[in-house]
């Protein structure tokens, strides 16, 4: 038992030391303002990338928000790939001024393949490098009127890849969408903002990111379940850098029912797990072979993608089984109460940590959150479920093959509605 306890403590201590820097990130992100990029008269040319499948209800709102940019429209071209659509997505996108390519392929039904197809068409008809950079969105998004204006300042300042502030379109709908919103605001506050302030590379998560044509000159070749994580890992391994532009905002529609949320989260969890096992050795190699700042980016990405829930689950499974066997060999009663109390303490600790983090995020990000203060306080008590289900999600993702499934988007709010709120 002493050996078992010692090994368990060593594993926990090692992981705690490796991720302790993330506490420093949180302090920096909460206490300091985001970096601002200098004004510029230089205007770069942008291609907007939208992958859509049966999004006839919402895609027009995204395109309208892009058509209403403060940035000159002659420098913006909107591309839509209507991927295996059976509705009027392609027709509506064309009517609103987008260049639309339709794709029908039942064998490769995933966003990464749709993006690869779209870049093949762009290369054929325009040339990928005829644009300075590309901005990626999902069809349910709407974007702030100054999005490309602000992103352009970052690219003129030297950015090669960029993530933006991911806001919640429907934070106020119910406790499920609010939890997603809290997660997005938390990521901006304690992950993206501090990395940018500390001049280290960030990671791409979800829509609203941009990449230069230099990075994408050979097209899009990221096909895993979580293509954004795959892009981030390969970018770190090659020594690239992802910056953050808080002034450019993307509004994302979150799921509002638990079944949809569960399916999406399983896909995210399995996708990141696959990504970890695909790239962890290359990231480790980068830690020892790349220059200092690039070493740190590989270390940072390794422990961003690290499957903590898998380790916790393994310890939670192996420890009681092993200790139980040792106890029975020694003819002693099984410590059921100790095991149950340990599980209870772990759940309570996670809830309290998430609750306290939520308070800090609500205070720090209040000007961005589109929800009444009364509802924010209510959802503060419910949002920790988002973190508490990480281990069940991991267990399910280990044994069930997650697939992309259609998420029905119904929130038809336009950017004007959100910017007034």
Parse the chain into domains and list their residue ranges: 1-421
Q: Which residue's entry shows tokens 């992958």?
A: 51
Report pLDDT for 402.
67
Q: Which of 100, 173, 106, 105 is nearest to 139 (CA)?
A: 100
Tokens representing residue 5 in the block: 């306890």
Report pLDDT for 144.
95
Q: How far apart (Å, rounded) are the C-alpha atoms in residues 239 and 200?
A: 11
What does pLDDT average to over the chain?
Answer: 90
**pLDDT, tens digit (0-9, with 9 covering 90-100), for 79-105:** 999 999 999 999 999 999 999 999 998
Q: What is the number of alpha carbons within 13 Å of residue 416 lying toward its C-beta?
A: 4
Return the minimum-mean-pLDDT range out of 31-40, 313-322, 361-370: 313-322
Report pLDDT for 187.
95
Q: Which residue's entry shows tokens 């050795």?
A: 281
- Kindly give, in sequence order, each residue whose CB lies less than 8 Å from that of residue 360, ignoring residues fewer than 6 positions away: 26, 30, 189
The CATH number of the structural domain formed by 1-421 is 3.90.550.10
411 by Cβ neighbours in 10 Å (0-12 / 13-18 / 19+) ranks as middle
**DSSP annotation of 166:** E
- Kindly give, in sequence order, each residue whose CB lies less than 8 Å from that of residue 39, ignoring residues fewer than 6 positions away: 153
Is the torsion defined by CA of 144, 147, 150, 154 positive or negative? positive
**pLDDT, tens digit (0-9, with 9 covering 90-100), for 309-351:** 777 777 766 666 666 666 656 666 665 566 567 778 878 888 9
**Element housing 19 (H / E):** helix 2-19
Q: How far apart (Å, rounded) are the C-alpha atoms in residues 233 and 248?
A: 23
**pLDDT, tens digit (0-9, with 9 covering 90-100), for 244-276:** 999 999 999 999 999 999 988 998 989 999 999
């Amino acid at each position: 038992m002493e050996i078992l306890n010692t090994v368990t403590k060593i594993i926990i201590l090692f992981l705690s030391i490796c991720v302790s820097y993330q506490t420093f990130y949180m302090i920096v992100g909460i206490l300091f303002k985001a970096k601002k990029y200098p004004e510029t008269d230089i205007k770069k040319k942008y291609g907007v990338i939208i992958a859509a499948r049966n999004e006839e209800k919402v895609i027009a709102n995204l395109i309208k928000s892009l058509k209403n940019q403060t940035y000159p429209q002659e420098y913006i071209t909107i591309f839509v790939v209507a991927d295996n659509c059976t509705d009027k997505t392609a027709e509506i996108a064309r009517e609103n001024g987008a260049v639309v390519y339709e794709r029908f392929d039942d064998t490769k039904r995933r966003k990464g393949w749709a993006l690869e197809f779209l870049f093949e068409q762009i290369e054929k008809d325009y040339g990928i490098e005829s644009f300075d950079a590309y901005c990626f969105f999902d069809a349910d998004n709407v974007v702030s009127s100054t999005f490309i204006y602000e992103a352009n300042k970052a690219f003129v300042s030297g950015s090669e890849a960029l993530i933006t502030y991911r806001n919640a379109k429907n934070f106020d709908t119910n406790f499920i969408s609010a939890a997603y919103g809290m997660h997005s605001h938390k990521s901006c506050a304690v992950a993206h903002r501090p990395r940018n302030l500390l001049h280290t590379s960030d990671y791409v998560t979800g829509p609203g990111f941009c990449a230069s044509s230099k990075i994408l000159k050979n097209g899009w070749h990221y096909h895993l379940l979580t293509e954004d994580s795959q892009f981030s890992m390969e970018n770190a391994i090659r020594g690239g850098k992802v910056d953050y532009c808080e002034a450019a905002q993307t509004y994302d529609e979150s799921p509002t029912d638990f079944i949809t949320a569960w399916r999406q989260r399983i896909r995210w969890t399995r996708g990141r797990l696959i990504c970890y096992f695909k790239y962890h050795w290359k990231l480790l190699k980068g830690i020892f072979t790349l220059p200092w700042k690039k070493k740190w980016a590989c270390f940072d990405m390794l422990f961003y993608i690290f499957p903590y829930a898998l380790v916790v689950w393994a310890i939670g499974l192996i420890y009681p089984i092993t200790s139980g066997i040792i106890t029975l060999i020694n003819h002693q009663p099984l410590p059921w109460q100790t095991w149950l109390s340990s599980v209870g303490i772990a759940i309570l600790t996670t809830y309290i940590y998430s609750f306290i983090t939520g308070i800090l995020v609500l205070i720090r990000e209040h000007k961005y959150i589109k929800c009444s203060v009364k509802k924010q306080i209510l959802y503060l008590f419910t949002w920790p479920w988002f973190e508490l289900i990480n281990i069940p999600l991991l267990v399910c993702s280990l044994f069930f093959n997650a697939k992309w499934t259609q998420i029905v988007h119904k929130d038809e709010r336009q950017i004007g509605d959100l910017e007034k709120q």
